[in-house]
Amino acid sequence: MNSDREAPLGEHLHELSRRLRVVFYFLIASTIVIMALPADLNFFSTPLSFYTPLISLVLKRITHDIMPPQFSLVGYTVGAPIELYVISSLILAVTVSIPVIAYEIYQFVNPALHEQEKRAVGPFVLSFSALFVIGAAFGYFIIAPFTLWAMVPFFAAVGAQPMISVLDFYGVVFAMILMSGLTFTFPVFLVLLVRFGVIGTQVVTRNRRYIYAGLFVITAIITPDGGPIADAALFIPVILLLELSIMVAKRYEKEGAPTKLTWFEPEARCRFCAAEMSSRVRFCGKCGRSQL
């Protein structure tokens, strides 16, 4: 689209659908290639022999790195291995397709960006990607293994054999990696909001207790079975990243940036006792006097 003119809504929708089709086709093609790609490239010299697919090697590596030896993987249903094979290939394809997805998103919004906003895209993408990779690695090597290891004593306490469905196991692992990666990217958005003057760093520093409480709830949801130690293992680095992002954000903070969240302000105050009240209420709930 031409960035020098305003395009009608229909043209925007057409542009969006075209870029979504590019992402969709690339994602489908990547999934098919990953499903068929052999782990050993020597297969191409003897194509008639049976080969081990690449995704199978990836799943075995995940099992080796994360699952405690006390656990046993079971299929439970006939279609579970096939379902896992397709889902895992799709997840890996999404990972491979991230540069294409990011490029198409940027090209779609690029005409609407100001010069200052365009200069912020590069650092934002790099910071987001780096923190997401670090968070995903943290979830893979720390959170996911610890969560499963924390469940072993409970199986022993009730005299049960530690067994887990392949779909449940890999579902938990993939979810923890994704959520841990996204949680680590929270400071990037804070710096971005401060840089564009949406909020000031004082908003964060004054509401630390509420932000900390919200982040702890989020980390507890991500690690539901790991206990308080697993919660703290994710909560502490996120808090350290938050404090670091505050220091970075202060470098970009504009003069006159908002120092409080105006959407938390009361709609109105009583003109007699100054108590907070809704603008739709006629009588003050504290002093009982009419505002008319």
Give the domain-ending residue among 83, 107, 131: 107
| Same domain assignment for residues 286 and 253 | no
How confident is the model over 205-233, as a mean pLDDT? Answer: 82
The predicted pLDDT at position 259 comes to 61
Give the domain-ending residue among 107, 128, 146: 107
| Same domain assignment for residues 32 and 140 | no
Q: Using 50, 70 and 90 to split pLDDT, how confident is the model at 200?
A: confident
pTM: 0.77
What span, in angstroms and rounded, lies between the C-alpha atoms of 3 and 110?
Answer: 8
Domain that holds residue 88: 1-107
The predicted pLDDT at position 237 comes to 92
Per-residue DSSP letters for 82-140? HHHHHHHHHHHHHHHHHHHHHHHHHHHHGGG--HHHHHHHHHHHHHHHHHHHHHHHHII
| Same domain assignment for residues 85 and 131 | no
| Same domain assignment for residues 122 and 241 | yes
| Same domain assignment for residues 14 and 127 | no
- Comparing 26-40, 52-66, 218-232, 250-264, the range with the smallest average pLDDT is 250-264
| Same domain assignment for residues 131 and 245 | yes
- Comparing 224-228, 241-245, 247-251, the range with the smallest average pLDDT is 224-228
| Same domain assignment for residues 43 and 136 | no
| Same domain assignment for residues 101 and 178 | no
**Is residue 185 a contact partner of residue 132, using CB atoms and an 8 Å limit?**
yes
| Same domain assignment for residues 288 and 237 | no
Per-residue DSSP letters for 259-291? -S-GGGS-SEE-TTT--EE-TT-SB-TTT--B-
**What tens digit of pLDDT does each residue of 133-148 get?**
999 999 999 989 988 8
| Same domain assignment for residues 174 and 278 | no
Whether the predicted pLDDT of 101 surpasses 50: yes
Among 222, 218, 223, CA closest to 239: 218
| Same domain assignment for residues 288 and 201 | no
Structure tokens given for 261: 């969240």
Among 31, 25, 80, 70, CA closest to 54: 31
Number of domains in the chain: 3
**Is residue 53 a contact partner of residue 37, using CB atoms and an 8 Å limit?**
yes
| Same domain assignment for residues 102 and 122 | no
Radius of gyration of the chain (CA): 26
Q: Using 50, 70 and 90 to split pLDDT, how confident is the model at 66?
A: very high
In the block, tokens 């229909």 appear at 10
Q: Using 50, 70 and 90 to split pLDDT, how confident is the model at 46?
A: low
**Is residue 184 a contact partner of residue 241, using CB atoms and an 8 Å limit?**
yes
Distance of CA 252 to the CA centre of its chain: 24
**What tens digit of pLDDT does each residue of 225-241 get?**
666 777 888 889 999 99
Give the domain-ending residue among 107, 130, 164: 107
Cα pseudo-dihedral 152, 157, 158, 164, rounded to 10: 0
Among 211, 228, 262, 226, CA closest to 142: 226
**What tens digit of pLDDT does each residue of 70-91 get?**
899 998 888 898 999 999 999 9
Q: Using 50, 70 and 90 to split pLDDT, how confident is the model at 266?
A: very low
